[in-house]
Amino acid sequence: MKLSKRLEKVAHMVDHGSTVMDVGCDHALLDIYLIKQKIAKSCLASDLHEGPLAQAKKNIKEYKVENEIQTALGNGLEPIHDGIDTVVISGLGGLTMIGMVKYTPFRLNQVKTLILSPNSDCVFVREYFLNHGFYMEDEALIEDHHIIYPVLKLKKGARSYQKLDYQFGPILRQKKEPLFNQYYQKEQVRVKTLLAILPKRYIKKRWSLKRYLKAINKYALTP
Ligand SMILES: C[S@@+](CC[C@H](N)C(=O)[O-])C[C@H]1O[C@@H](n2cnc3c(N)ncnc32)[C@H](O)[C@@H]1O
């Protein structure tokens, strides 16, 4: 079975032998891959909506992995249960990811690893999780259909970080792979466009976007 390049990257961030919850599983292709490749021991594929979950169940049956993959309907981490050591959340907005944890952090009590691939607001995702009991073990950028996605692997534990780590990734900014430059060129265009359309009365938001733009020029786009 073939996964998208993005989901393949996410899958290979998961430690072998993990018990995984995939929040917002949609089709559950990631879970099926994790089982078929013998990366995960078992998975809980959950989704907020009936439609995607019905598709997930159909795929799970088709690939004959009903014994290894459970499904659950629920919002965010609500359906988590004892024994899950790894949570994957990918293809959702960064602020949605933070919202799933912010008011019910106890749901992550037994979780040792988080694999997050936000499709927006990655800076806030890093800042939130690195300040709430996790450190960055690995970090990558992956290009899929001309879009560059960040994938973060966080482990339970504390380390100290600075603003630049949240903005550019503590590992990514050290590695500075070719995609890093491309990603921040796109970020530069995105932020400039936002600033052009954001009304002047949003003083705080405009100020933080300008600061981010300055940092992109200074730290990400200089060799
Ligand atoms: C764009 S898909 C991403 C699917 C897959 N995780 C991926 O990375 O390709 C987003 C999925 O998340 C589900 N979703 C959205 N909000 C959710 C929430 N609060 N809790 C659980 N699932 C949610 C949607 O129903 C949808 O199936």
- Nearest CA residue ID for atom 11, ligand 1: 24
Q: Is 77 within 8 Å of 10 (Cβ atoms)?
A: no
Which atom of ligand 1 is nearest to 117's Cα?
8
Query: Taking CB atoms and a 6 Å cutoff, what residues make up the pocket around ligand 1?
Result: 7, 23-26, 47-49, 52, 75-76, 90-92
What pLDDT is stored for residue 221 in this prediction? 86
Distance, CA 47 to ligand 1 centroid (Å)?
6
Interval between CA 25 and ligand 1 midpoint (Å):
6
In the predicted structure, residue 114 carries a pLDDT above the cut 90: yes
User: Which pLDDT belongs to residue 1?
Assistant: 80
Percent residues over pLDDT 90 in the chain:
95
Percent of the chain with pLDDT over 70: 100
Instruction: Put the strands of the sheet holding 134-144 in their side by side order.
Output: 69-73, 40-47, 18-23, 86-90, 113-117, 147-156, 134-144
Cα of 91 vs centre of ligand 1, distance in Å, is 7
- Residue range 183-198, pLDDT digits in tens: 999 999 999 999 999 9
pLDDT, residue 189, reads 95
